[in-house]
Amino acid sequence: MRKNSIRSHAIAWAAAGFILFLRWTCRVRVHDDPREALRRDGVRYIYAVLHAHQVAAILGGERGTGAMVSRSRDGEIIVPSLRIRGVIPVRGSGSRGGNQGRGGKEALEALIAHVVGGRPAYLAVDGPRGPRGKVQRGITTLARRADAVVLCMIPVSKRRWVLKKAWDRLQIPKPFTRIDGYFAEPIRVVEGETSEQLRIRIEETLRRLERDHDPVEADFARAEADIATPGADVAAG
């Protein structure tokens, strides 16, 4: 048990070192970034990112952002990488379709407090187990309770590794590449709108961003959605 703990600790800090190396060698460029205007107007905001984009999102992450991290061993491994980039890990993990498992409810409450306190938060919205591109409900609860707009963003690395056997097709930027972060217009909670309607708007916005800026990966996401919901039209309107 002790040996496993030491090994996990070593892997975690090796991963953090690699993240630091990538940040030193990669160029990050953002497009249609609304954050300066939101800060000027005192508007709270939260990031909605796909699970596949977590590594690139960490590289370009805003310092002080809170991020929900699983209490699993995999979650433990990613914590040093977040901290080294100034991202604040909030431990917990949601069950499929909600945030009730593995401390997810407590973590969500902590994220809400974090945003209300004036700092952004980040959610990998189709995690922790997918299907890829299927937005879970936690982001809608966070947006409503923290009175925050949702910033959908996808980072696209010019050169990258793609873990094709992973459920999310996790993407890892290669050293010395360029990462372009594409923002959509902020999504605001509309009076009278249901949580499901808000969830669908976020899902369709992320799908549209990926289709516009990373069409090859978007095709895989659509195929996954077709398998998960046979006969459904999953194209963004």
Q: Is the pLDDT of residue 234 over 60?
A: no
Distance set, CA 124 to CA 36, 65, 153 (Å): 23, 13, 11
Tens of pLDDT along 167-211? 999 999 999 999 999 999 999 999 999 999 999 999 999 999 999
User: What is the pTM assigned to this prediction?
Assistant: 0.87
> Is 168 in contact with 56 (CB distance < 8 Å)?
no
pLDDT digits (tens, 9 = 90+) for 107-153: 899 999 999 999 999 999 998 888 999 999 999 999 999 999 999 99
- What residues does 138 pair with on adjacent strands? none
Strand partners, 151: 47
Identify the pLDDT of residue 97: 45
Using CA atoms, how far apart are residues 226 and 52, in angstroms rounded to an integer? 18
